[in-house]
Structure 1
Amino acid sequence: MDLRRVKNEEKLVLCKKYFLAGFFILPFLWFVNSLWFFSEAFWKPPYPEQKTIRSYVIWSIVGTLVWMALIVTWVVVFQVNRASWGITGEQLSFIIPSGMA
């Protein structure tokens, strides 16, 4: 999407939609939102909607980092403890490895 062709009011609406959609278990949209609108929020000359866009971008970055921390934590905990969890660990696995080593 070429943001240079979009009006500032429409940029704000689009940024807000992506931010709100991230709350519906779609944290990837927070990541996309922060990438698309980062330059609009911090590098472009000031315009009235920029302050609100900046706050959505900052919160999108925070949301992305929180989700990434949660996912990485879960993966590490699961990989370390899967074998000791017994049948529960196996039921949570998509691929059940043979052996316990």
Structure 2
Amino acid sequence: MTGVHPLEVLLIGLAVVAVLVVLLRWTYGRGRSLVQRRPRAGNPDEYGLLVTVASPADRDEARRMSGVLTAEGVRHTLVATSAGPRLMVWPDDALRARQALERR
């Protein structure tokens, strides 16, 4: 017998189908790409519930202000918006953050 065993044909066929399924799921899958998108700077009002507490002039001043908020224990985020850097906090922390930045 010089033919190919039917079990080998079945396994090769299943392997080809499995590879095609993986490639098609990767190609047509939504929202999960292996290639990271370039971040887009949004407007300061596009950050949901976060409130702007400071609009530093440059990145160095923004990092200094961020250090002040970190030292005070205020949860914050430094955002590069289309209008320049912004320090943003949750609304409950806004008053405390503003007071901490005014003290220093």
* Same fold? TM cut 0.5: no
TM-score normalised by length of structure 2:
0.29
Greater share of residues in helix: 1
Greater share of residues in strand: 2
TM-score normalised by length of structure 1:
0.29
